[in-house]
C-alpha cells in the first residue's frame, strides 16, 4: 500500500504524527524548536489529506490490527469527524505558532509544554476518529491528563488550584462515563459504536448507561450548572493553553455526546433533549451575565465560553423536529466559530496581559497603544461571538433560528437572540477600554509581531470562513453523520 495513494490510511497519520512528536520533544527537548514546526506541518497535512478523502471518497475507516469489530477497534472518519479534525488543525497550528514565541524565554516550562500539547493534540484526533466506546474512554484519559498538566504549567497558586479541581472533575466525568460503557458492554456484548447502534433498545440497563454517559460528558463539557470548574482553570492557564482548552478541549466531550446521541443512545430521549436545551439556554444567560460582571479580562473571556457552550446544547430540543439536520449542523458550525474566535480572544487577552503586566479591565485604558493589533483581534473575534455577518458564527445562528422557526419551537429563539445581545454588551465592555483614558498602564514587555498576528489571523479566519459555509456544510454531510440512527426521533 503506497502511502500517497488515495486510499492510504491518513487516519493513522493524523493520530501518530503528533504522538511521535510528543515522544521526540520529550527525548530531545533542545531539538524542539526544529521538530515542532515539522510535527505541526505533518499533522495538519495529514488532516488535510484525510479531509480531502472524506470529502471526495466518503467515509474512511481502518480496522486496527486487522481485526474487525466487535473483536477489534475501528477508526472511522465521516463528515462530522472531518469537521472536528479540521477545526482542531486550524486552531492547533495557530496555537503552536504562537507558543513557539510565547515560551521563548521561559525555557524550563517550554520544555514540557511541547510533549504535553502534542499528547493533547493526539488525544483530540484519536477521539474524533475512534469508533469504540472503551477506546474513547482511553482517549479521554489522555486528553484530561494532558489538559490538567498544561493548566498547572502556569505554576501560580490559582493555576494549581484550578488544575486540581479540573483533575477531580475530569476523573469523576471519566469514571461516570466508564460505568456507562461497562453497562452497555454487559448488555450488548460489543463496544463498537456502529454495532451498538443496531442493538440498543430501551431497557433499564441501557437507560442507566445513557444517563451515566450523558452526565459524565456534561460535566466534562461544563454545561451549566456543571460549569463551576471551567472559569478558574481556563483563566489561570498559560495563554496558549487557555486558547486550547476553551477552543478545543470542551468541544471534544460535546462531540462525543452528539455522536453517541445520534448513533448509540436508545432514541426516545425527548424529555432529556428538552432538559439539555433548557440548561443550554440557562448557560447562555448565566454565563453572559457572569462575563459582564467580571473585572479581569481572562475571566471574562472564560465566562463567555460558559455562555457560548450553551448554544451547542440548543440543538438537542431543536432536533426533535423534521429539521433535525439543520439543528445539528448549527451546533457543529458553532463549534468551528467559537473555536476560532475564542482562541483569538484568549491569545489577544494573553498579549494584553503580558504587555500591561495585569488584566484588570478597568485599568487597561492606555494599554491599547502598544498592542493595537491584539485589540483589533478582540473586536473582530467579537463579531463572530456576537454572531454578525459574515462570520461563521452568523451562519450558525442563522441555521439555529431557522431550525427553531421551521420546527415550530419559536421559544428557543429567545435565548439565541438574547444571548447575542448580552454578548454584544460584554464585548463592548472590553472594546470601550480602548477609548477610555483611565489607568496609567505603560507597557514595558514588548509583544512580538507573531503573537499579535496569530491572534489577529485567527479572528480574521473566524470572520472569513463564513464565506466557505456551503462547502463546509457539504463536507459535514459526507457519510450523513447527522441522521439519527434509528427512525423515531419524534417522541
Does residue 360 sit in helix, strand or coil?
strand
Residues 253-292 that bind other proteins (CB under 8 A): none
User: Residue 183 CB, nearest distance to other proteins (Å)?
Assistant: 6
Q: Check binding of 220 to other proteins (CB under 8 A).
A: no
In the stretch 115-134, what mask flags binding to other proteins with x, by CB under 8 A?
Answer: xx--x--x---x-------x
Task: Identify whether 225 is preceded by a cis peptide bond (ω within 30 of 0).
Answer: yes
Sorted by sequence, the CB contacts under 8 Å of residue 309 that are 6+ apart come out as 221, 222, 223, 227, 250, 254, 280, 283, 287, 338
User: Alpha carbon 435 to chain centroid distance?
Assistant: 32
Residues 131-170 that bind other proteins (CB under 8 A): 134-135, 138-139, 141-142, 145-146, 148-149, 152-153
Q: Check binding of 16 to other proteins (CB under 8 A).
A: yes
Count of residues binding other proteins (CB under 8 A)?
58
Closest CA to 248 of 150, 315, 160, 162: 150
Joined grid coordinates for residue 287: 454565563
Joined grid coordinates for residue 223: 454545561
Residues 190-219 that bind other proteins (CB under 8 A): 190, 203-205, 207-209, 211
Q: CB 369: neighbour CB atoms within 10 A?
A: 12
Among 6, 189, 357, 446, binds other proteins (CB under 8 A): 189
Residues 18-47 that bind other proteins (CB under 8 A): 19-20, 22-23, 26-27
Residues 42-81 that bind other proteins (CB under 8 A): 62-67, 70-73
User: Residue 158 CB, nearest distance to other proteins (Å)?
Assistant: 15
Q: Check binding of 186 to other proteins (CB under 8 A).
A: yes
Residue 440 to residues 74, 362, 369, 417, 432: CA-CA distances in angstroms?
Answer: 58, 11, 12, 37, 16
Q: Check binding of 332 to other proteins (CB under 8 A).
A: no
Nearer to other proteins, 189 or 446 (CB): 189
Residues forming the site for other proteins (CB under 8 A): 1, 3, 9, 12, 16, 19-20, 22-23, 26-27, 62-67, 70-73, 108-109, 111-113, 115-116, 119, 122, 126, 134-135, 138-139, 141-142, 145-146, 148-149, 152-153, 179, 183, 185-190, 203-205, 207-209, 211
Amino acid at each position: 500500500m503506497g502511502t500517497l495513494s488515495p486510499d492510504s490510511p491518513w487516519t493513522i497519520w493524523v493520530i501518530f504524527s503528533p504522538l511521535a512528536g510528543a515522544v521526540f520533544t520529550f527525548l530531545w527537548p533542545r531539538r524542539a524548536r526544529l521538530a515542532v514546526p515539522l510535527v505541526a506541518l505533518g499533522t495538519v497535512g495529514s488532516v488535510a489529506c484525510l479531509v480531502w478523502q472524506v470529502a471526495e471518497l466518503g467515509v474512511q475507516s481502518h480496522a486496527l490490527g486487522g481485526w474487525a469489530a466487535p473483536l477489534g477497534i475501528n477508526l472511522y472518519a465521516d463528515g462530522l469527524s472531518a469537521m472536528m479534525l479540521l477545526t482542531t488543525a486550524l486552531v492547533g497550528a495557530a496555537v503552536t505558532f504562537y507558543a513557539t514565541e510565547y515560551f521563548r524565554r521561559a525555557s524550563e516550562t517550554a520544555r514540557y509544554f511541547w510533549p504535553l500539547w502534542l499528547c493533547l493534540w493526539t488525544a483530540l484526533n484519536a477521539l474524533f476518529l475512534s469508533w469504540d466506546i472503551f477506546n474513547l474512554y482511553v482517549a479521554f484519559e489522555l486528553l484530561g491528563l494532558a489538559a490538567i498538566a498544561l493548566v498547572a504549567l502556569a505554576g501560580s497558586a490559582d493555576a494549581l488550584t484550578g488544575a486540581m479541581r479540573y483533575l477531580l472533575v475530569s476523573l469523576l466525568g471519566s469514571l461516570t462515563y466508564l460505568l456507562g460503557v461497562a453497562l452497555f458492554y454487559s448488555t450488548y456484548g460489543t463496544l463498537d459504536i456502529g454495532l451498538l447502534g443496531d442493538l440498543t433498545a430501551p431497557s433499564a440497563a441501557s437507560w442507566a448507561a445513557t444517563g451515566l454517559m450523558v452526565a459524565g460528558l456534561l460535566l466534562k463539557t461544563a454545561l451549566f450548572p456543571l460549569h463551576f470548574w471551567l472559569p478558574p482553570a481556563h483563566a489561570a492557564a498559560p495563554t496558549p493553553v487557555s486558547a486550547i482548552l476553551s477552543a478545543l478541549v470542551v468541544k471534544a466531550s460535546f462531540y462525543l455526546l452528539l455522536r453517541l446521541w445520534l448513533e448509540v443512545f436508545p432514541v426516545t430521549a425527548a424529555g432529556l433533549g428538552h432538559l439539555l436545551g433548557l440548561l443550554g439556554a440557562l448557560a447562555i444567560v448565566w454565563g453572559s451575565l457572569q462575563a459582564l460582571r467580571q473585572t479581569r479580562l481572562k475571566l471574562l473571556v472564560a465566562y463567555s465560553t460558559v455562555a457560548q457552550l450553551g448554544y451547542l446544547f440548543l440543538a438537542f430540543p431543536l432536533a426533535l423536529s423534521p429539521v433535525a439536520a439543520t439543528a445539528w449542523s448549527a451546533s457543529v458550525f458553532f463549534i468551528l466559530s467559537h473555536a476560532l474566535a475564542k482562541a483569538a480572544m484568549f491569545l489577544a487577552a494573553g498579549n494584553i496581559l503580558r504587555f500591561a503586566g495585569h488584566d484588570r479591565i478597568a485599568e487597561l485604558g492606555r494599554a491599547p497603544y502598544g498592542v493595537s493589533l491584539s485589540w483589533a483581534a478582540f473586536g473582530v473575534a467579537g463579531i463572530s461571538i456576537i454572531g454578525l455577518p459574515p462570520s461563521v458564527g452568523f451562519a450558525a445562528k442563522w441555521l439555529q433560528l431557522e431550525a427553531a422557526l421551521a420546527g415550530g419551537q419559536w421559544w428557543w429563539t429567545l435565548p439565541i437572540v438574547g444571548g447575542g445581545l448580552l454578548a454584544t454588551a460584554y464585548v463592548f465592555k472590553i472594546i470601550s477600554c480602548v477609548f477610555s483614558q483611565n489607568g496609567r498602564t505603560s507597557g514595558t514587555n514588548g509583544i512580538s509581531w507573531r503573537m499579535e498576528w496569530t491572534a489577529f489571523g485567527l479572528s480574521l479566519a473566524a470572520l472569513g470562513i463564513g464565506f466557505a459555509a456551503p462547502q463546509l456544510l457539504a463536507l459535514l454531510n459526507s457519510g450523513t453523520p447527522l441522521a439519527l440512527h434509528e427512525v423515531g426521533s419524534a417522541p
